Structure 1
Amino acid sequence: MSEQARLREALTTGPFSLALRLALRASGLSLDRVQYRLRERDVPVSKTALSNWQSGRTQPERTESLRALAVLEEILGLPNGALSVLLGPPRPRGRWLTRAPNDMRADQAWARPDGLLRTLDSLGTTLSAVDRLSKVALQVTCDVGPDRVLRRIEHLVVLRAEQEGVDRYTVAYRSDLGQPEITETMGCRQGRRRGDHETGFSTFELLLDNGLRAGELITLRYTIKPGSPEVYHSQRVGASTRVYGVQVQFHAEALPVRVYRRFQSSVSETGCAEIDVRLGTTFTAQYAATDPPPGIYRIGWDWD
C-alpha cells in the first residue's frame, strides 16, 4: 500500500496518532518547522507535544490545543476537521486509540499502546486492519517447566472474517522479560515480525493458508515461546469472543503454592479481586467462560 493510500485510510478509520504521523511524513515538514509555522500563527505548540500527539502518548484536548490542531490541518494541507474528527472524548490519561464498537480500545487493553502502534506501523498496517478478523473462540494452554519458566503458550483460535479477502492475522505480545518466538503453526505460517524495545511489544503476522470471504470462519493454532520466568498470563478478550478458556500445566517437580485468576475491564482499573483457582490432580489449573465481557483475563501463580 502506498503512503498516500495509507494516509487516506488512516484519515478515514484512525487512529488520530497514525493519521497525524502519516500526514507529517507526507508534508515533508520536520517537527521543528511545523512548530515554527504554528508559532507564526499565534498558536504555539511545543515540539514535545507534537511528538506525543503523533506517537499516541497524548492527544490534543484543551481549547488552545484544539485551536492549534485546526491550524495544523491547514499547514499539512488537510481538509478542515480531518484530524479533529478522529479524536475521542477527553480522558484523564490523555491517550485514545480507536477500536471496534463495544470493544476495548488499545489504550484500555495495553500499557504503553504507543509501542503497539509503532510495530503495526512498521508492518504497514493499522488497528483498523487488525479488526478485519474477529476472535469468536479462544483456548489458551500454558506450559510451565520444572525450572519455573513459562515455556510455551498454545493458542487455538476461531476467527471470522469481517471483510472480503482477509489473508493474515496479527498477533501482539508484550513482555519486559524477553523476546518471544512463534512456532508450531497450523492453518497459517509466520510472516513478518516487528519489535519495540522501549515498550516490550512484539507483533507477528500469521499468513493464512487461504484468503477468506466475508463471514467465513477459520481455525488457527500457534504457539508462543516466551522463554522467560513469567508468573502469569494475561489475555485480552474482545466483544466478539463467545467462548474463552485457559489452562496452565505445571511440572510435578515445581508446583506453585497458589494459582489465581483476575479480571480487569481495562489496564487502568485497580483493586481487582483475585479468585483462587484449584490445581487438579494432573497439576493443571483452568478457567473457562461463555460470552465473557471485554477485558483483560489474567491467570497467575505464586511460588512462595
Structure 2
Amino acid sequence: MAQGGTAVWFPLVADFADALTKAVDDSGLSLERIQHHLAARGMQVSVSTLSYWRRGRSRPERAESLKVVTALEELLGLAEGHLTDKLGDKRPRGRWLGQAMSLEDMWDSRATDLGEVMARIDRLQPTASTYLSVRDRQVIGPDRREVEMHCTGLIQALEDGVDRFLAIQLADATDLGVATIEAGPPCRLGRVRSEESTGFLVAEVLFDRMLRAGETALVDYTVRMKPGADSEVCDRRFLRPVGDYVLQIDFHPDAVPARCYEFTRPSLQEPETALTDLWIGTTASTHIHVRNSKPGIYGVRWEWD
C-alpha cells in the first residue's frame, strides 16, 4: 500500500498544553494512572497521546478526543471548560489553513504516531505551501508486489520563506520494513525520520531556493518499498486542495490484475466513494486524473483473482 502527501504542521497550542501539564503535575498522577482512570470510564486513549497533548505537539480535535478532555477536567479536579475553552480560540485561522484537513482526518488513530515521527524533525512551523500539480507513478513487479513510487510535482509557496515540504509514507502491516526515499534534481533530501514500530517514513524534501509567496518549485523523489505480500491498493492523501493529480500504476506484464478501479475518500471517517472501473491497457498500465480536488484520499485498488 503506497500512501503519501504533503503534511501540515500546526503551531503549538501553548495555553492548552501548559494548562494540562500544570493540572497533571498538581494531581500527582502519572499519565499511566490517568489512562487507567479514563479507561475505567470507557474512554480509550494512549499514554503517548496524553504526552503529546501535554507537550503541545498535537491537539485534541475529533469528537472522541474532546470527550476525553472533558473527562480530564473532572478527573483532575478542574472547573468545567478549564481545558476545552483553551482549544476553541487557538485553532489556526491563517489564509492558507482555511481548507486544510487535520492529521486525524487523514491518518485516524495513527495521527499521533505520525506526529511523533514528525516531531523528530527540528523545524516544527507550518509548511505554507500547496501542490499545484502532482504525478505519482507506482511500479508493481512480476511477484505482484510494489517496487517503487516515483513522485513529481509543482509546489507553490503561500507565504514568504518556504524552502521545503514533508513527504510521508506509511508501510503496510505486511511490509518487511519501512520504505526508503531518494530525491532527484532540482531538490534534495533534508532530515529523514523513520520508525519500524509505526511504519512511518517522514522526510524533508528541500527546494533549490527559498520561495516567496506565489513562487513555485519543482519536486522529484522516489520511494522504494519493502513489501512482504501482494499489493492491492495505492493512494495519496492530500491535506489541502490540489489543482491537478495523476496517479499511474504500471503492472508487470506477468502480473496483471483481474480488476482495477478508482476510489476517493473524503477522510478516514467516511467510506470510499466513486468506485469506477479502470481499463488496463496493452502496456499493463492504468491511471486516474483528478482536477481541482478537495482535501482527501485518492487512489486505485485492484484484485488479482
TM range (shorter): 0.7 to 0.9
Q: What CA distance in whole angstroms lies between the structure 1 residues aligned with 2:146 and 2:18?
A: 37
1:146: Cα distance to partner? 1.1
Instruction: Determine the structure 2 residue equivalent to 1:46.
Output: 34
1:59, 1:87 within 8 Å by CA — same for their partners in 2? no
Instruction: Determine the structure 2 residue equivalent to 1:95.
Output: none
1:70, 1:81 within 8 Å by CA — same for their partners in 2? no
Instruction: Determine the structure 2 residue equivalent to 1:212.
Output: 211
2:117, 2:193 within 8 Å by CA — same for their partners in 1? yes
1:129: Cα distance to partner? 1.6
Question: Cα RMSD over matched residues?
Answer: 3.5
Q: What CA distance in whole angstroms lies between the structure 2 residues aligned with 1:69 and 1:164?
A: 42
Q: What CA distance in whole angstroms lies between the structure 2 residues aligned with 1:198 and 1:86?
A: 32
Instruction: Determine the structure 1 residue equivalent to 2:105.
Output: 108
Aligned-partner residue type, residue 65 of structure 2: Q
Answer 1 or 2: higher relative contact order, Cα 8 Å, separation at least 6: 2
Instruction: Determine the structure 2 residue equivalent to 1:144.
Output: 140
1:118: Cα distance to partner? 0.2
Q: Does 2:130 correspond to 1:134?
A: yes
Q: Does 2:65 correspond to 1:59?
A: yes
1:179: Cα distance to partner? 1.0
For 1:215-254, what aligned pairs fall within 5 Å after superposition?
215-228=214-227, 229=229, 230-254=231-255
Q: Structure 1 residues 225 and 64 mapped into 2: Cα distance closer, same or farther (>3 Å)? A: closer
1:186: Cα distance to partner? 2.0
1:84: Cα distance to partner? 5.9
2:187, 2:218 within 8 Å by CA — same for their partners in 1? no
SS at match of 1:46: helix
SS at match of 1:10: coil
SS at match of 2:113: helix
Instruction: Determine the structure 2 residue equivalent to 1:42.
Output: none
1:172 aligned to which of 168, 173, 178: 168
1:295: Cα distance to partner? 1.1
Q: Structure 1 residues 37 and 277 mapped into 2: Cα distance closer, same or farther (>3 Å)? A: closer
1:37: Cα distance to partner? 7.5
1:115, 1:198 within 8 Å by CA — same for their partners in 2? no
2:207, 2:217 within 8 Å by CA — same for their partners in 1? no
Instruction: Determine the structure 1 residue equivalent to 2:270.
Output: 269
1:60, 1:66 within 8 Å by CA — same for their partners in 2? no
2:241, 2:293 within 8 Å by CA — same for their partners in 1? no
Return 5+ residue gaps in structure 2 as ranges.
1-9, 39-44, 53-57
Q: What CA distance in whole angstroms lies between the structure 1 residues aligned with 2:238 and 2:183?
A: 23
The aligned length equals: 264
2:178, 2:201 within 8 Å by CA — same for their partners in 1? yes
Q: What CA distance in whole angstroms lies between the structure 2 residues aligned with 1:148 and 1:21?
A: 50
SS at match of 2:65: coil
Greater shift, 62-71 or 175-184, is seen at 62-71
Q: Does 2:159 correspond to 1:160?
A: no
Cα offsets for 1:124-154 (capped at 9, x unmatched): 244x523x12111111111111121211111
Identity of aligned residues (%): 23
Q: Structure 1 residues 290 and 69 mapped into 2: Cα distance closer, same or farther (>3 Å)? A: farther
Cα offsets for 1:155-212 (capped at 9, x unmatched): 1111111222222211111113231111252221112211233432110111221111
SS at match of 1:53: helix
Q: What CA distance in whole angstroms lies between the structure 2 residues aligned with 1:266 and 1:155?
A: 22
For 1:65-144, what aligned pairs fall within 5 Å after superposition?
65-66=72-73, 71=78, 82=86, 85-86=89-90, 100-111=97-108, 112-126=110-124, 129-130=126-127, 132-144=128-140
1:70, 1:84 within 8 Å by CA — same for their partners in 2? no
**TM-score normalized with structure 2 length:** 0.74
Q: Does 2:33 correspond to 1:36?
A: no
Instruction: Determine the structure 2 residue equivalent to 1:4.
Output: none
Return 5+ residue gaps in structure 1 as ranges.
1-7, 39-44, 89-98
